[in-house]
Amino acid sequence: MNLVEIGARLLTYSPARGRTNLISGVKNTWVIDDTYNASPQSAKVALEILAEMPATGYRFAVFGDMLELGSLSEEGHQQVGRELVRLGIDYLFVIGERSRDIARGAKAAGMSEDKIYHFPYTMEGGTFLQERLREGDVVLVKGSRGAKMEQIVYEIMAKPWLSRDLLVGPVVK
């Protein structure tokens, strides 16, 4: 393909749902929807994207449990927490039980406890996050499919009526 053909195709390009899609968020924020799946490796790459994203506000990382890691679960989650501190992410929200290890890793790496929030369920976390967002903030949302992190995206997206077209799974309204 030549450059003109490539440009023409990019005009109609539509990324796969839940695969680092950039979605307009409430209050003039941006949401990086990476809710299709999660592993320590993919979480670190997503954090790099968040860290490099231009922002005039804060950067929030919102993680659900990374499932199916077996005996590597605790250390894998903690690695993600350490990495987000290294990258200078401002706030961490964790949803679920295993994701608490992300918070533990972040705290051990020096993140202040007042910048770390834990919620057992996505709806609680999404509502709490929405109340704290300000114009210019950027939010990464990531977790394994079983964590149903698209609910968080739904709670903070500017046009929730587009959720059927944009999100990886159904949401509770």
Give the closest residue to 26 by CA, choosing from 150, 126, 148: 126
Tell me the per-residue pLDDT of 99-140, one tens digit each, with 9 for 90 and over.
Answer: 999 999 999 999 999 999 999 988 889 999 999 999 999 999
Predicted TM-score (pTM) above 0.75 = yes
Q: What is the pLDDT of residues 20-48, one digit of tens each?
A: 899 999 999 999 999 998 999 999 999 99
Match 């679920």 to its residue by tokens.
96
CA gap 142, 161 in Å, rounded: 21
Q: Is residue 86 part of a domain?
A: yes
| 99 belongs to a structural domain | yes
Asked if residue 107 lies in contact with residue 84, where contact means CB atoms within 8 angstroms, the answer is no
In a domain, 1, yes or no: no
Flag whether pLDDT at 68 surpasses 90.
no
Residue 47 forms part of a structural domain: yes
CATH number of the domain residue 68 falls in: 3.90.190.20
Instruction: Report the C-alpha gap between 147 and 9 in whole angstroms.
Output: 34
Q: Does 11 fall in a domain?
A: no
> Residue 109 is part of which domain span?
16-162
Residue 168 forms part of a structural domain: no
Closest CA to 140 of 87, 89, 65, 67: 89
The total number of structural domains in the chain stands at 1
pLDDT at residue 173 tops 80: no
Q: How far is CA 36 from CA 18, 111, 114, 141, 148, in A?
A: 5, 27, 29, 10, 9
